[in-house]
Amino acid sequence: KYFILFFMVIIFILHSIVHYNKNKSTDEYLQEKTQQRYMEYQVVYNNYKAFANMTFQTHVNTSTIIDLFAARDRVGLKNYLDNDYQKLRQFSIRQLHFHLPNNDSFLRMHRPNKFGDNLTKARLTVKYVNENKKFIHGFEEGKIFNGFRFVYPLFKNNEHIGSVEVSYSALFFIKEMVQSYNVISNFFIDKKIVGEKVFSDEKSNYMQSPYEKYLIQKSIMRYLDIDSSKIKLSKQYKESVYEKVTKGAPFSMLFNGDMGQIITYIPLKNPITKKTVAVLSIKSDDRYIQNKQKNTLVFFLLMSSLVAIILYVIYKQLSYQYRLQSEVKEKTKALRMEKHELEKAQRIANLGFWSLNLKNNKVHWSKEIFNILEVDSLTFKPNNEVFLNCIHPEDKANLIDAYAQSLKDDEEYYINYRLIMNDGRIKWIKEERETTFDANGQAVVSTGVMQDITQERCNAQVIAEQAKMASMGEMIGNIAHQWRQPLSVISTAATGIKVQKEFTNLSDEDLFSTCDAINNNAQYLSRTIDDFRNFIKGERVKSFFNLKAEIDSFLNLIDGTIKENGIDIVLDIQEDIQIHGYQNELTQCFINIFNNAKDILIENELEPKLIFIATQVDKNNVHISIKDNAGGIAKKNISKVFEPYFTTKHQSQGTGLGLHMTYNLIVDGMHGSISVQNTQFKHENKDYVGAEFSIILPIQ
């Protein structure tokens, strides 16, 4: 009976231990699952944010869009953006929405006829951006749909003119989660918020979810092919979900008992109020806990039998071995899963991604970053010597300062820098970094996205070189035209002297006159060569120069072409304009614009052939106008003239690089602006139509 009593005590102790370990193991695994799902959510969100930033920079924050919006030309803005918006819809962008500074809706590209409503109360992100003139992003409820919104301030000449929003719908986000991670994901929207904010004609797009306090979008349920009426949840389960959602932190729960399913809930907070307005759920089949429970039962029965036979010592040894095997298996599985999920995320984004936990210095690197850095492994630290030694000396200080600054505030920052590879090659890197802070203002997580942009920069350099070579060909032709007449004069004068000398008919007066003519024409050739040499020598140094003198030099370079083709140059030049900039590059721009005008004037066989050049000063800017009477640019082509390789000429006659190079030199090189439009004008009481290029440059 003592043996039975001892056996029962051991069984009771074993049962208590097994029950405790089972619950502890389940809780720990649910926490790991929550962290994994939250990281997957963050990866998808950061991918969308990166694409939203790229959309803003390349499709919205352009001079044309800014001008149309500043002029409050709703129809023009809508028509100009229509093609781009349709393309962006294919990449999951749901909404491009422009707002006035008073928070009035100006243009919804997805519903262009819905405008004029004030968003101050309904859209706090819009109010925030217009008041603070700072970018903000996050999940926010709206009048038409709920989704992930990225709201940017808009400026013209440093003056705030309103804001624009790039948004993704909840449906697109769900599709990305399903396709990327093979999980069932859904959005639950606060019923009260839908009732208060959504337009009446949009409320029919929602239906009741299995949770009484939340609604779901019908479009998501159709995509998931789920009948919500067949989902049964116990009252206790729903109340537990409500209670944990109010705490605002992600969590995971077992679903349907022993069915092996886990649901992770991620509360989504309004970026302004910080209140939970929706919940993202992620459900997946997971047999780990089910198997763990079965293994625990087998373990219990086995150990009970062993205790009955060989007592506690042998049980102790086997238990120890089993725990070691279980831990090794669990860690191996977790490492494989982490590697698989991170690699999948990088394939989706096609970018190198890293995140650093600032509490414990744990870092996650994607495989793509190792490929960029050309290393097998790297342990990240803020002062990591392996990484810092790769940075170009001229960029190192800026990068360290930028990273240090990112740990002090929640602003995003972008920086381009160079890496020096082991073989001496230079790589250009574009990096975006952001730091997340907890409720106490302490930095907790730093994340970043790295991209190798070396090829992009090489492509830009090749385009510039090609354009320069094309211009060189044009200039050599100009020089040939200009030299013909002076060389003819020199040749004729020299021959005349020889003939007169042979017939002893050469007077001193004729000799001196002829020598003067030869010298004057030789000096003209020399000046032409000097102008040409100054143009091609490639020095890129900012200096002060007189604009009129620069235009005179440019006209001297093309004088032969002007005369040969019978082109009249009409000038309206202000005498005393001084510019601080790149003299050679401005000459290059004039030549590119002149060549395009010349070609179309010749092609259309127009008489007279006119090119007008005018300058004037307005405050701190100089305005340069170059126009012709060639009939203008076709409407379908006028928006494309500055694109690389775009040309309406035969491939043997044009490269399509001249105006693209001109745009880059004016905008990027001299911080100015250039535009083109068709214009009607009078000259000597005659009406003409032509293309007018307008260049605006800062004087200083």
pLDDT tens digits, one per residue of 74-121: 999 999 999 999 988 887 788 899 999 999 999 999 889 999 999 998
Confidence at residue 652, expressed as pLDDT on a 0 to 100 scale: 38
Return the higher-pLDDT residue of 377 and 134: 134
Counting Cα atoms < 13 Å in the Cβ hemisphere of 694 gives 8
Work out the percent of the chain whose per-residue pLDDT is above 90. 23
Q: Cis omega before residue 608 (within 30°)?
A: yes
Q: Which residues of 18-48 are buried (b: 16+ CB within 10 A; e: fewer)?
A: eeeebeebeeebbebbbebbbbbbbbbbbbb
Q: Is the pLDDT of residue 415 over 80?
A: no
Integer-rounded Cα radius of gyration of the chain: 36
Return the higher-pLDDT residue of 260 and 673: 673
The helix (run of H) or strand (run of E) holding residue 261 is: strand 261-269
Structure tokens at 586: 């401005």
Residue 305 Ramachandran class (φ > 0 left, ψ -120 to 50 alpha, else beta): alpha
Q: Is the pLDDT of residue 185 over 70?
A: yes
Torsion of CA 367, 368, 373, 378, to 10 degrees: -20
Q: Which amino acid is at 696?
A: I
First-to-final CA distance of the chain: 103
Q: Phi and psi of 250, rounded to 5°?
A: -60, 150
State whether residue 440 is helix, strand or coil. Answer: coil
Q: Which amino acid is at 271?
A: P
Q: Give the lowest-confidence range in 351-355, 387-391, 534-538.
A: 534-538
Nearest to 148 by CA among 244, 230, 65, 46: 46
The helix (run of H) or strand (run of E) holding residue 338 is: helix 288-349
Q: pLDDT tens, 19-51?
A: 555 555 677 778 888 898 899 889 988 988 998
| Average pLDDT, integer, range 5-26 | 59
Counting Cα atoms < 13 Å in the Cβ hemisphere of 420 gives 11
Structure tokens at 656: 């399509």
Q: Give the lowest-confidence range in 92-101, 364-373, 416-425, 602-611.
A: 364-373
* Cα gap 506→499, rounded to integer Å: 9
Confidence at residue 698, expressed as pLDDT on a 0 to 100 scale: 86
Structure tokens at 37: 């799902």
Confidence at residue 195, expressed as pLDDT on a 0 to 100 scale: 86
Long-range (24+ apart) CB contacts under 8 A made by 336-340 are 337/36, 338/36, 338/364
Q: What is the DSSP letter of 212?
A: T
Name the pLDDT band for 623 (thresholds 50, 70, 90): very high
Q: pLDDT tens, 457-473?
A: 666 566 556 556 655 55
Measured in whole angstroms, the distance separating CA 378 from the mean position of its chain's CA atoms is 27
| Average pLDDT, integer, range 412-441 | 80
Confidence at residue 529, expressed as pLDDT on a 0 to 100 scale: 64
Mean pLDDT, rounded, of the chain: 79
Sole residue written with tokens 């606060």? 190
Q: Is the pLDDT of residue 69 over 90?
A: yes
Q: pLDDT tens, 56-68?
A: 999 999 999 999 9
Name the pLDDT band for 355 (thresholds 50, 70, 90): confident
| Average pLDDT, integer, range 532-547 | 67
In contact, 693 and 627? CB cutoff 8 Å: yes
Work out the percent of the chain whose per-residue pLDDT is above 70. 74
Q: Is the pLDDT of residue 613 over 50?
A: yes
Confidence at residue 383, expressed as pLDDT on a 0 to 100 scale: 43
Return the higher-pLDDT residue of 581 and 11: 581
Angle at 340 between CA 338 and CA 342, to 5 degrees: 65
Structure tokens at 285: 């089949």
In contact, 153 and 130? CB cutoff 8 Å: yes
For residue 330, count other CB atoms closer than 10 A to its CB.
16
Q: Which amino acid is at 421?
A: M
Confidence at residue 302, expressed as pLDDT on a 0 to 100 scale: 61
Q: Are strands 352-357 and 578-581 parallel, antiparallel or unpaired?
A: unpaired
Q: Which of 241-255, 286-300, 303-317 has the highest mean pLDDT?
A: 241-255
Nearest to 598 by CA among 640, 637, 569: 569
| Average pLDDT, integer, range 620-633 | 91
In contact, 167 and 150? CB cutoff 8 Å: yes
Return the higher-pLDDT residue of 484 and 117: 117
* Cα gap 381→81, rounded to integer Å: 44
Q: Give the lowest-confidence range in 138-142, 343-347, 489-493, 685-689.
A: 343-347
Confidence at residue 651, expressed as pLDDT on a 0 to 100 scale: 40
Confidence at residue 481, expressed as pLDDT on a 0 to 100 scale: 54
Q: Are strands 567-572 and 609-618 parallel, antiparallel or unpaired?
A: parallel
For residue 404, count other CB atoms closer than 10 A to its CB.
10
Q: Give the lowest-confidence range in 234-243, 512-521, 691-700.
A: 512-521
Q: Is the pLDDT of residue 634 over 60?
A: yes
Q: Is the pLDDT of residue 349 over 50?
A: no
Confidence at residue 125, expressed as pLDDT on a 0 to 100 scale: 94
* Cα gap 353→47, rounded to integer Å: 10
Name the pLDDT band for 348 (thresholds 50, 70, 90): very low
Name the pLDDT band for 653 (thresholds 50, 70, 90): very low
